[in-house]
Amino acid sequence: MFDINLFGLFGQLLVGLINGSFYALLSLGLAIIFGLLKIINFAQGALYMLGAFIAFLALEYLGINYWAALIIVPITVGLVGIMMERFLIRPIANEDHLYSLLLTFGLALIIQGAFTHMFGSSGLSYAIPEELKGGNRLPFMYLPNYRAWIIVASVLVCFGTWYMIEKTKLGAYLRAGTENPQLMQAFGINVPLIVTLTFGFGVALAGFAGVMAAPVYSVSPDMGSNILIVVFAIVVIGGMGSIGGSILTGLGMGVVEGLTKYFYPEASTTVIFLVMVIVLLLKPAGLFGKEA
């Protein structure tokens, strides 16, 4: 029991932090969209998968490298999201929010179905960019450069987003739009535009996560749905009341999952759901939730 293999432990912690980075990016995107539209985007996982596939196809057929993809893909996926919001979600914005949820679920089925049809369900591999190959031997573990990059880049993007929303003027508009859209409209701010752009941005985060994920996970049509359900559990754990909370919960749950993989591997796929059950019992609104 106390004979802990440090090498293995830190290895799993690293894997946990990497998974946590993706959980954080995806739940952050969900939280931003939820803040303004009060809907959960079920297609977030499918758009994450779309991001990974666009990066893969861009490299394969157009020779667009990883670094360019890191910019181009989130923009492309963001545009897909903007079209979704503008032409599909907005027409039913005044209906029960459950309908928009079902709409995004249908879109997720279409996107995932289309890619399964075109590429089969086996995974494709995306090479790690040349600059990030290799790694460093630390005293207690081996740290591959790309993995370190994932953690650094995701944390930077997450906290950059947090800063933008909590500390800048643009973020203030966004938060005001969340609080009271009618009043904002009366002040002459184009709220529908803000809603569309916010949706696009939240979805672009998923696209960004997809590019980041392409070299470490295999690129496959069901990569999105598998991770999304876990992210939903994380959203329930953290509550969507706070942007910072969703980032911290995402990273934290990744670590919890990594530790479980080390100490009790059989439960590693279920531990996050179990944490969700415990949180629901003890603090139903979620760790960072604001509702009663």
Interface residue with other proteins, options 232, 258, 287, 288 (CB under 8 A): 232
Interface residue with other proteins, options 79, 97, 148, 166 (CB under 8 A): 97
Residue with Cβ nearer other proteins (32 or 128): 32
Interface residue with other proteins, options 9, 68, 101, 132 (CB under 8 A): 101
Interface residue with other proteins, options 5, 180, 190, 269 (CB under 8 A): 269
How crowded is residue 82: how many other Cβ atoms within 10 Å of its Cβ? 17
Cα–Cα distance for residue pair 254/223, rounded to 1 Å: 16
Residues 9 and 184 sit within 8 Å (Cβ to Cβ): no
- Cα separations in angstroms, 245 against 32, 49, 149, 252, 285: 12, 24, 23, 10, 13
From the list 46, 227, 52, the residue with the least C-alpha distance to 125 is 52
**Does the protein bind other proteins through residue 110 (CB under 8 A)?**
yes
Residue with Cβ nearer other proteins (41 or 74): 41
Interface residue with other proteins, options 4, 8, 116, 190 (CB under 8 A): 116
CB of 116 to other proteins, least distance (A): 7
From the list 74, 57, 63, 56, the residue with the least C-alpha distance to 201 is 74
**Does the protein bind other proteins through residue 131 (CB under 8 A)?**
no
Residue with Cβ nearer other proteins (104 or 196): 104
Residue with Cβ nearer other proteins (74 or 224): 224
CB of 46 to other proteins, least distance (A): 10
Please classify residue 64 by burial: count the beta carbons closer than 10 Å to its beta carbon, then call 0-12 exposed, 13-18 middle and 19+ buried: middle
The gap from C-alpha 143 to its chain's centroid, in whole angstroms, comes to 23
Place of tokens 């297609």: 43
| Residues between 247 and 266 that touch other proteins (CB under 8 A) | 266
**Does the protein bind other proteins through residue 9 (CB under 8 A)?**
no
Interface residue with other proteins, options 5, 7, 8, 95 (CB under 8 A): 95
Nearest 5°: the CA angle 253, 201, 208 is 60
Residue with Cβ nearer other proteins (111 or 223): 111
Nearest 5°: the CA angle 138, 251, 124 is 80
**Does the protein bind other proteins through residue 86 (CB under 8 A)?**
no
**Does the protein bind other proteins through residue 121 (CB under 8 A)?**
no
Residues 252 and 267 sit within 8 Å (Cβ to Cβ): no
Place of tokens 């879109």: 107
Residue with Cβ nearer other proteins (74 or 254): 254
CB of 238 to other proteins, least distance (A): 12
**Does the protein bind other proteins through residue 92 (CB under 8 A)?**
yes
- HSE, side-chain direction, 13 A CA sphere, residue 277: 5
Interaction site with other proteins (CB under 8 A)? 34, 38-40, 88, 91-92, 95, 97-103, 105-114, 116-117, 225, 229-230, 232-233, 235-236, 266, 269-270, 273-274, 276-277, 280-281, 284
